[in-house]
Structure 1
Amino acid sequence: QENYVGSSALEPQPVIWFDNFNKDKVAITQLELDRESQRLFCPLLANPASYIPDTVDLNADEEARNYWLDCFEKSIDKYVDAAMSSQADSETAPERAKQFKEKYIKRLHKLRQQPFAYGNLTVRSLLETIEHYMREFDFPDPYVFTKQSENEAALSQLQERLNYLDSLTPK
């Protein structure tokens, strides 16, 4: 995987100070956008080598690019709200969420001007950037409470559903 950190198309990033576990300040100027784990192809694909998961190339399709960049920019406050809600007791959450928003909006604006600045632009890459920036600003899972309540609701109905499935007679 090619890494574009340090590319001449990238602007220098401001220093961000984070508290570490020892209460020391740690300066972070730039984080690399890499995947933590390798993604595997679906074993049912007839030809995995030719599979391209992205249906729209936002580098090539200006109309689609503008549509998706607008969508992500208009929805950024939903991500900010989720991030702050996930850490409602944190005094630093509002500031970190603000920094997340500013950095992501800046990235979107850069992509409007230079779609190739960070490699191939796709909807997936925009989503991965949100996830990466959430982690960067210490929001590892902003939807943790939503997931937890959905899981609890599903588990409360599981036994009844299993009983129903067991009662069905095969045709």
Structure 2
Amino acid sequence: MTSSRRVILSGLPCAAALFMGLAKGANATDNNDLEEMIEKAIQADGSLELPKGDFIASGIPINRGLTITGLGDQTRLISPDGQPIFTITTTESVTLRGLSFSGPALAQGEALVTAARSPGLLIDMCRFSDSPAGGLHLEDSGGAVTGCHFSRIATTALFARDSTGLDISGNR
């Protein structure tokens, strides 16, 4: 019995979804959709409530004030390539609440979320897991990281350097 290349290749998205840990029947939203949702939120009221689901994303810049809220473990942001899901660089306030970040456990890469020169961060009740590098990397930033859970992080769960007024509490 021979299989055509087309039949084999047609199964790759399913194989990738299973490898990334997407649940059977889960809908995954890609990078362009999420980036567009963020841009619309910034232009509107600066607030984005993400629904239950999986969002495949990496390299999304956040350079203006924004609040992104999810449903805890039910709102998963997954980096497919080991790059940061969000790169935050803004002097305005940024809040990430109730989001679950994960990466490709078998790749090399950077922290799941990075922030630099961002004094108004609030990262609350988020989960960081399966990172080939770090969970959260902060440089010259301030605010608070509270109630977050870090697991299966290859290097440093939470790294902060040159921080001013950064409250880190209630994390595990």
TM-score range, shorter chain: under 0.3
Per the normalisation by structure 1, the TM-score is 0.24
The structure with more helix, counted as a fraction of residues? 1
Higher relative contact order, structure no. (Cα contacts within 8 Å, ≥ 6 residues apart): 1
The structure with more strand, counted as a fraction of residues? 2
